[in-house]
Structure 1
Amino acid sequence: MKEWWDRKKGKTRKHKKSKDDYSFWDIVVDVLFWIPELFILPFRIIYWLLRGLGRMIGDFLDFV
């Protein structure tokens, strides 16, 4: 019984110890999520700038 308890205690300590570590697979998943965002970001910025410019011109034309 003591051997079983020592193994169980060792596993839970190991699990708790490595729970906060940033593993290789965490990095891979983060990179896979950020790559599409980095490609889409410039187009999103251009879209918002053109949209804001169009609204500003439209408001100016409505004012005149």
Structure 2
Amino acid sequence: MRRWREKRKQRKQNKLDQSSFWNILVDILLWIPELLLLPFRLILWLARGFLRLIGNIFDYY
């Protein structure tokens, strides 16, 4: 009975290690495009906000 528990525990640990590696790999592959596009998105958001601010100032006059 003890050997069976040890084998089961060992298999579970091995399976956990493999899934962790693949999860990390997939996460990295999904984050690469996000990190590359983030600076452009920030620039666009700031430009839109600045242009809206200027537009609102001219609406008052």
User: Same-fold call, TM > 0.5?
Assistant: yes
Among 21, 24, 29, the residue aligned to 2:26: 29
Unaligned runs of at least 5 residues, structure 1: none
Return the alpha-carbon distance in structure 2 between the equivalents of residues 32 and 62 of structure 1. 46
Among 26, 42, 47, the residue aligned to 1:45: 42
Runs of 4+ in structure 1 over 2 Å off: 21-24
Return the alpha-carbon distance in structure 2 between the equivalents of residues 55 and 23 of structure 1. 45
The RMSD of aligned alpha carbons is 2.3
* CA deviation vs aligned residue, 1:6-44 (integer Å, no higher than 9, x gap): 2xx322x121x453x573322211210110001110111
TM-score, structure 1 as length reference: 0.68
Return the alpha-carbon distance in structure 2 between the equivalents of residues 43 and 63 of structure 1. 31
